Amino acid sequence: MRRIMLALALSATVAPALAAMQQAPLEWDSGGKTFSGVLVYDDAGEPRPGVLMVPNWMGVTDAAIAQAREVAGEGYVVLVADMYGKGVRPADSDEARAQVQSVFADGGATARKRAGDALAALRGKAGALPLDPDRIAAIGYCFGGTIALEMARAGADVDGVVSFHGGLGSPAPAGAQSPVSTSVLVLNGADDTSVPDEAILAFEKEMDAAGADWQLVSFSGAAHCFTHPEDAGKTGNCRYDARSAKRAFEMMRDFLGERFQAGGG
């Protein structure tokens, strides 16, 4: 009996250490340029799905990594994707705007290329991490939400994409000649002035023409940035909304759970 009690005590002590949240840098190349993101995952257990997370226009920040830790805590290996290049970290909204404009300067080709190479970098960690390379989704916030939708339009090999308060337009829209084969979930702030009603209508028509499996949910009272706690207390179009954020994350969990199960998980 004494041996059994000792074994139980040891297992209780060791188990939390084996299930620690890990955070590590990851670099990859795209278009002759080096990019630097952050991997976040729980190091215990069997291989689990991966999530490519594209942050808002401020890029790879502490706030983005904190959000990735929340997502990873749901049982995913998350890569916070760098879309600008190693060492390129906007200091303010003006610098961020300039970087976004550069990413889309060629009609979206660079955006899609960089996102695809980040996806390949995540998938390439299978074996080294508890990652199932056959079950990967892409999510994004604001600018990152726009990138996630561009991945769907480009035919990226993902089980689904989720856009949190992202822009809905595209320089290269999908359609009958460029169908969207993955499932799409758009989580939109109903009061987001950067996404007018006509943009929503155009997106819906685009997705229908592309034969997409899509959902668009608008949250009443929510504006842009509604999932970002760092924007709590702000006024204007970029502000945090705790109620809408909670509901949006729950919808993301349900969506990813369904998509990864459909993918064979």
CA torsion through residues 130, 228, 245, 238, sign:
negative
Question: Strand order of the sheet with strand 77-80?
Answer: 21-30, 33-42, 77-80, 48-54, 131-141, 160-164, 183-189, 213-219
- The confidence score (pLDDT) of residue 233 equals 82
Helices 109-123 + 93-103 axis angle, to 10: 90
Q: Model-level pTM?
A: 0.91
CATH 3.40.50.1820 at 20-262, yes or no: yes
- The confidence score (pLDDT) of residue 16 equals 41
Alpha-carbon gap, residue 120 to 27, rounded angstroms:
11
- The confidence score (pLDDT) of residue 263 equals 67
Please enumerate in sequence order all residues whose Cβ is within 8 A of that of 113, keeping only pairs 6 or more positions apart, or say none: 30, 31
- The confidence score (pLDDT) of residue 167 equals 97
Domains in the chain: boundaries? 20-262
Tokens matching residue 197: 């009603």
Alpha-carbon gap, residue 79 to 91, rounded angstroms:
22
- The confidence score (pLDDT) of residue 265 equals 44
3-class SS at 86?
coil
CA torsion through residues 119, 125, 127, 132, sign:
negative
Task: Give the residue ranges of DSSP H helices in the chain.
Answer: 2-18, 62-72, 93-103, 109-123, 143-153, 197-209, 242-262
- Which segments in the chain show pLDDT lower than 70? 1-19, 263-265
Alpha-carbon gap, residue 152 to 56, rounded angstroms:
18
